[in-house]
Amino acid sequence: MKKTIVLLLTAVLTFCLTACNVNSDESTSSNAVQGSGGSVSTSLPDSTQEFSSDQSISSQQSTGENRILVAYFSWADNAVTEDDVDALTSPSVVAPGHVAQLASWIQEETGGDLFSIQVTEPYSSDWDECLDRANQERSENARLELTQNVENIESYDTIFLGYPNWWYGAPMALLSFIEQNDLSGKQVYLFCSHGTGGLAGSVDDIAEVLPESAQLSENVFDVYEEDASSSENEILNWLQELGY
């Protein structure tokens, strides 16, 4: 009888110990899975943050800073002062010129750098005399000497070029500027002040001397000279169309 009781107790004890070991293994296995899941769970945010940071750096490096230059030619910036000019007989230059006013609005809106294209030999402040010279320069397809050119032109991505319509075309000084400053690969926008002749052949004149890699926009801003001083809203709308 005693042997039977001992055997029964031994069997019960063995069963309990086996059950405890099984539970212990399952608990250990369960903790291992949770630990692995915790590791994945905590590493995902770190990994995601690192990826996001790399993407941000890559995006900034690829986008860079778009530098803008607003270059313009204006009669007012290129005329000599003559006190004896009779303003009643012919138009006389008055500063700031129409194109200079347009350029200043563009510069203010875009935050670009402003550059006035100036020749070494100024024009007469009398319109008739100025027109005679402009006509002669155009007939000769002259290239004029400029007082200065743009430093580090290669650092600019976008160029706004402003000019008046002179004798049904672009001023030779503007063409001289384009040829003396490499605009290869630049995005180029034109703005023009004119009389009854409109843009005439000025856009074609400019397109002929631009490098092939320059991207000349077909969206040209032009305004009648008498309306130029009151065209701020119009030029701001134009800049908005261009994305500025």
Convert the pLDDT of each residue in 41-100 to its tens digit. Answer: 322 333 333 323 332 222 222 234 789 999 999 999 999 865 544 444 445 577 778 999
Query: Are 181 and 94 in the same domain?
Result: yes
Instruction: Name the domain count of the chain.
Output: 2
Look at residue 238 and tell me whether its pLDDT is greater than 70: yes
**Last residue of some domain: 64, 96, 119?**
64
| pLDDT tens readout for residues 194-214 | 998 999 999 999 999 999 999
* Domain match, 57 and 79 both: no
Is 209 found in the same domain as 101? yes
Same domain, 107 and 128: yes
CA-based Rg of the chain, rounded to a whole angstrom? 38
Number of helical (H) and strand (E) elements in the chain, helices listed first: 6, 6
Is residue 23 domain-shared with residue 117, that is, in the same domain?
no
The answer to whether residue 24 scores a pLDDT higher than 90 is: no
* In the chain, alpha helices (H): 2-63, 98-110, 127-139, 172-180, 202-209, 232-242
Last residue within a domain, chosen from 64, 94, 111: 64
Contact 185, 214 (CB under 8 A): yes
Residue span of the structural domain in which 159 resides? 68-242
Token duo for residue 35: 């630990």
Domain limit, last residue, from 37, 64, 91: 64
127: number of CA atoms within 13 Å, CB side? 11
The arithmetic mean of pLDDT across residues 13-30, rounded, is 44
CATH classification at residue 153: 3.40.50.360
